[in-house]
């Protein structure tokens, strides 16, 4: 992969990169299409990265469907599907990690110790191998996009990270590889997440400035759904620092992480207060 990438670069080709864990859905495909549009060459990687799963998390069960994935990619102008295996990514005596600080400790980082260390490390490895000028990530994993931006900036990586809007089903649910874990009733219950984000966003756009009130409203809406077994976090945050906001006076992040049964679901929405515009 190193050599292939280097050859493209020597021929003056720009490489766009979409790192994934497979189980590709419309969210991934939107990244792939954008990369194909913006670069000469698009490389997609599929690697279920053990380093970003905690010991009690779903690494084993994580959905894998190589045939469906490659079929989906065949319909796009993807140049290379890169499929590293675990033993080449993490050979014996692998012992180097990239630690991103503060931004990786908040929200999901507080509930998934080591997760963002695993993400930063594998993304750095893939960047070093694939040598992209642009890499594409979904806004659904909002904190991940901040962690990667921080790493790129701090380590002087020569990559533009591009964040693409969350793709949603008709009922508002953010598409996610983990949605397959949900049975029909859980799937239905999960729609409360988007409703909660949407209501909060509407209330801010209607003039609500008190972030605490917005948070309480979100929480109350979520708790109307009995199948939500746990709330990891919910609230209104500064989209740069992920600190809790007290006032919704400038752009804010609404973010939620909940559990339905054993399935952990996250979603978020940016409310751009000044432009009174909503992007998700």
Binding of residue 121 to a copy of itself (CB under 8 A): yes
Determine if 228 is a binding residue for a copy of itself (CB under 8 A).
Answer: no
The residue range among 65-73, 145-153, 162-170, 223-231 that interacts with a copy of itself, by the rule CB under 8 A, is 145-153
Task: Give the dihedral sign, CA 61/166/16/108.
Answer: negative
Interface segment toward a copy of itself; rule CB under 8 A; list 58-66, 153-161, 163-171, 266-274 = 153-161
Confirm whether 28 is a catalytic residue: yes
Q: How far apart are CA 204 and CA 252, in angstroms?
A: 10
Q: Which part of the chain contacts a copy of itself (CB under 8 A), choosing from 33-41, 44-52, 88-96, 231-239?
A: 88-96
Q: Does 98 bind a copy of itself (CB under 8 A)?
A: yes
Asked whether position 9 contacts a copy of itself by CB under 8 A, the answer is: yes
**Cα-based angle 127, 99, 177 (whole degrees, multiple of 5):** 60
Q: What is the DSSP code string of 4-56?
A: HHHHHHHTT--EEEEEE-SS--HHHHHHHHHHHHH-SEEEEEE---GGGS-TT
Side-by-side strand order, sheet with 252-260? 228-237, 252-260, 263-272, 277-279
Interface with a copy of itself: number of residues (CB under 8 A): 32
Contacts with a copy of itself, residue ranges (CB under 8 A) = 2, 6, 9-10, 12, 91, 94-103, 120-121, 124-126, 128-129, 131, 150-151, 153-158
Catalytic site positions: 28
């Amino acid at each position: 992969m190193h050599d292939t990438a280097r050859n493209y670069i020597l021929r003056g080709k720009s490489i766009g990169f979409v790192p994934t864990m497979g189980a590709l859905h419309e969210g991934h495909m939107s990244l792939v299409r954008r990369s194909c549009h913006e670069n000469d060459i698009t490389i997609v990687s599929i690697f279920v990265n053990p380093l970003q799963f905690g010991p009690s998390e779903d690494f084993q069960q994580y959905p894998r469907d190589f045939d469906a994935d490659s079929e989906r990619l065949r319909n796009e102008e993807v140049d290379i599907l890169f499929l590293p295996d675990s033993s080449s990514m993490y050979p014996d005596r692998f012992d180097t990690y990239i630690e991103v600080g503060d931004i990786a400790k908040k929200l999901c980082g507080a509930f998934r110790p080591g997760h963002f260390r695993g993400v930063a490390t594998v993304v750095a490895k893939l960047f070093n191998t694939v040598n992209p000028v642009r890499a594409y990530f979904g806004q659904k994993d909002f904190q991940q996009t901040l962690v990667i931006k921080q790493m790129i900036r701090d380590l002087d990586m020569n990559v533009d990270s591009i964040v693409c809007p969350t793709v949603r089903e008709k009922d508002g649910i953010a598409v996610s590889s983990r949605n397959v874990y949900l049975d029909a009733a859980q799937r239905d219950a999960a729609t409360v997440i988007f409703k909660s984000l949407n209501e909060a966003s509407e209330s801010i756009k209607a003039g609500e400035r008190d972030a605490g009130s917005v948070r309480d409203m979100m929480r109350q809406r979520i708790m109307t759904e009995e199948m939500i077994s746990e709330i990891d976090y919910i609230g209104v945050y500064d989209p740069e620092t992920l600190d809790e906001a007290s006032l919704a006076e400038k752009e804010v992040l609404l973010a939620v992480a909940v559990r339905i049964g054993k399935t952990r679901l996250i979603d978020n929405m940016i409310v751009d207060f000044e432009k009174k515009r909503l992007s998700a």
